[in-house]
Amino acid sequence: MKIRWGALMQSAIVLLGVATLVFFLFHAVAGDPARMMLGQVEDPVALKTLRAEYGLDKPLVVQYRNYLEGLSPLGYRFDGSWGWRWPNLQSSYQNKGVSVILMLSETLPNTALLAFTSICFALVIGIPIGLFAAANAGSRIDRFVVILSTTGMALPSFFSAVLIGWIFGYVLGPWTGLPMTGNLVEMDDFGEREVYNWHHIILPSFTLGIRPLGVIAQMMRASALEVLSQDYIRTAYAKGLTHGQVLRKHVFRNSLNPLVTTVSGWLAGLFSGAVFVESVFGWNGTGKMMVDALESRDFPVVMGCVLSLSAVFVVIQWFVEISYRWIDPRIIKE
């Protein structure tokens, strides 16, 4: 597949716009980061030294230029050579000397894992439910699926997170064995080795996947009903295919095309929408880190989180375009 330079330019412009908006927005509403780092200490010398260390004593335009230079994938590496490099997202104000890139490398995979498990849960449950409802259009089962999916779409994440955590983690905790809070990787009782607690992801992914499940079920139902009304479906029945064969060979794949856009939008939204869910369940992801950084006004961390989530959204859109070409052969491959 040829490189689409126009799409690459559009992606770069989007990321540049996000970086510019976030930079000036946070500098407009922020207080003095140096004073916040010093806390109650009122030492003019220490304040001046700290501002010089983080470049906060320079004019805003110079700070913006330095910020964009750090984001560029081309520049001077740590060893002094020139070439491709990781973007420099500055260092955390609260965790002095800790790179934002390093912090994101520890939390972004957790958010990605949570988002992918949530969307997989929504797809595995939502697609069969929507297809089954379309195959039984007008029946009680169809109406029940519509009501259930609409209810799931209407539930806010912060409300469903608290409700699900309380029911399955507290009330039914002795039977489910699921905790109300917990991270994927934790230290053992002796603090000597890391322990992976995969059951900690069940409640957060279930909570985060409820709304996209409702949307996917509704979209799959509507798309399948449209496909079922096409002439080639009647031709397939006339050839002697059973109802199950028609659903598997014709309806299922042809109903996926409009669903791809919905799934991609929700997958990108789950990365940013995981903020409330991660905070409620104590999941050590980018969303929780961004909330903590906002409370402490650690703006390099906040800007790094926003930029990383924007980059994820751009990458997902690229994969969506590729998937379109696989699902619908009528799309000309470039």
For residue 327, is pLDDT > 80? no
For residue 1, is pLDDT > 70? no
Same domain, 135 and 277: yes
Residue 199 lies in a domain: yes
Please give the residue that has the higher pLDDT: either 269 or 217: 217
In angstroms, the Cα distances linking 70 to 50, 106, 173, 286 are 20, 20, 47, 21
Same domain, 218 and 242: yes
Same domain, 184 and 299: yes
Same domain, 44 and 181: no
For residue 189, is pLDDT > 80? no
Residue 298 lies in a domain: yes
Which tens digits make up the pLDDT trace of 84-108?
A: 767 777 788 777 778 888 888 888 8
- Tell me which H or E stretch contains 83: strand 82-84
How far apart are alpha carbons 31 and 35 in whole angstroms?
A: 8
Which tens digits make up the pLDDT trace of 4-19?
A: 666 677 777 888 888 8
Same domain, 80 and 135: no
CATH code for the domain of 276: 1.10.3720.10
Residue 191 lies in a domain: yes
Which tens digits make up the pLDDT trace of 271-301?
A: 777 788 888 888 888 888 888 888 777 888 8
One-letter amino acid of 245: Q
Residue 70 lies in a domain: yes
How far apart are alpha carbons 71 and 26 in whole angstroms?
A: 17
Residue 89 lies in a domain: no
Residue 95 lies in a domain: no
- Answer with the one of 44, 60, 84 that is the final residue of a domain: 84
Residue 90 lies in a domain: no
Same domain, 16 and 153: no
pLDDT of residue 38: 67
User: pTM to 2 decimals?
Assistant: 0.78
How many domains would you assign to the chain? 2
- Domain with 301, as residue range(s), is 100-327
Please give the residue that has the higher pLDDT: either 111 or 330: 111
For residue 330, is pLDDT > 60? no
- Answer with the one of 84, 117, 151 that is the final residue of a domain: 84
pLDDT of residue 334: 45
For residue 332, is pLDDT > 50? no
Same domain, 170 and 275: yes
Of 40-44, 116-120, 206-210, 305-309, give the lowest mean pLDDT range. 40-44
Same domain, 179 and 231: yes
Per DSSP, 80 falls in state S
Same domain, 190 and 69: no
